[in-house]
Amino acid sequence: MAVPAAPAVTLCRTRTVAAATALVSLASVLFFYYRGELLQFGDAEAHLNIARRILDSPDPGINQIGTVWLPLPHLLMLPFAAVTRGWQLGFAGSIASPVCFIASAMLFFRSLRLLFGAVAAAAGTAVLVLNPNALYLQAIPMTEPVFLAALCGLFYCTLTGRPTAAGLCAAAAAWTRYDGWFLLPFCSLFFLRANGWRAALRFSLVAGAAPLLWFAHNRWQFGDALDFYRGPYSARAIQGDHYYPGRHDWTTAIHYFFTAVRLVNGWPLVLIGAPGIALALLRRTWWPVLLLSLPPVFYLWSMHSSGVPIFVPSLWPHGWYNTRYALSALPLLALGVAALVSAGRNSRGVAVAIVALCLVPWIVRPSPENWITWKESQVNSRARRTGAKKVYLYLRARLGPRDTVFTEFNDLTEIYRHLGLPLRRTVTGDDGPLWWGPVMRPDLFLRDPWVVCFAGDIVDHVARRAGYTPELLIPVEEGKVIRVYHR
């Protein structure tokens, strides 16, 4: 059964939430921009460059979206990435993400208000919005803020009994992250039970179009409808058969995932949110708890069965990898906070006290060093960014106004963004015949004056076969070396 509509006063309060979230969001974007960290995350750099390549490449078009990463975040970035200066400085990727984050806060507040009242909703939304790991990810071109907006929209539309709008939100989630696909059957069953088969059918037709279109895209562009799952760039292919903690081991997977949840969300929020979730279940608020539980369940399942590791510094192998996946538990814990606040007699006082307790880890240590998603991006990008900067400085003084570069679309693309070099003056593996001609017969087809590559990769072999001379060698991480060839 749908929750009744909230009073008209909700709109005013929603605007207040939107305004407060916008201020916090803008402050975080400016903070990371002036620190030069909007594209510190390797994935953030890649997402922005994919959006740019759709319009700016030797072979522009929808094929440049690729096969593994879902398309909606890149399409949202596209108008801003098309502006060369915005792309070069990196802030082109920090427009759509904050807008999605603000929309998330508004929708989440309205949903919680329907369930628990305005004060409790404000407390739950504050916990969501003020988490520094969430603020970091919403300030940069990542998929998390887009998915959060789609999830919060789906949350609100299911509560208010709007199957078509819910289908659109679910389709947006399914075109952003694969955990969005995991939501679809559960939401269909919800509408079937709550609103009947017609509502369930409407939802399913709208939401189900997103995965079907992605299958069609993979089949048309890459010859395999499941290329995103089993192709050479899939997570399954990248991980291979390598062991990691939690693979086919539920106990270890749960241990690592919940350690990441604690580090990303903070111990106080976990300790306060958990009994709040139990209280919500006792009040028979089953659907909200189930819906917001699905993303963390998906990542836990992926750790166990789908080759998706999560590394945290406190556990072997003592690294930082995929820690942001634990942020999927934040909306669920925030709902638990709202449920707990609603149970208090002096709800305003309880709300302030609980929100303050949840923010203690970030107040006591208000430094990015304490924000594990930021720390992951710093640790894992240090060598990449140092190497890219050295190559950028070298090429800036030598690259001619019409020179082209034979290279690969990977971490090296950061160099061309810093140079402001149009990507149509680069040739990579995404450019069809322009790439395969030089790869197959470099003696006939390789005519680019510059080649930039990692030592030992396919581009390196092509350059050597064509008789190019290496001019610069830059050691980077784990024995990798960037080579710059010129002819």
- pLDDT given at position 266: 97
Q: Tell me the per-residue pLDDT of 32-89, one tens digit each, with 9 for 90 and over.
A: 999 999 999 999 999 999 999 999 999 999 989 999 999 999 999 999 999 999 999 9
Instruction: Please list the ranges in the chain whose pLDDT falls under 70.
Output: 1-12, 346
- pLDDT given at position 416: 97
Q: What pTM value is reported for the model?
A: 0.95
Query: Rounded to an integer, what distance in angstroms lies between the CA atom of residue 70 and that of residue 179?
Result: 11
- pLDDT given at position 42: 93
Residue carrying structure tokens 């179009």: 209
- pLDDT given at position 346: 66
The domain locations on the chain are 9-38+94-364, 378-486
Q: Tell me the per-residue pLDDT of 148-206, one tens digit each, with 9 for 90 and over.
A: 999 999 999 999 999 999 999 999 999 999 999 999 999 999 999 999 999 999 999 99
Roughly what angle, to the nearest 10 degrees, separates helices 267-282 and 250-265? 110
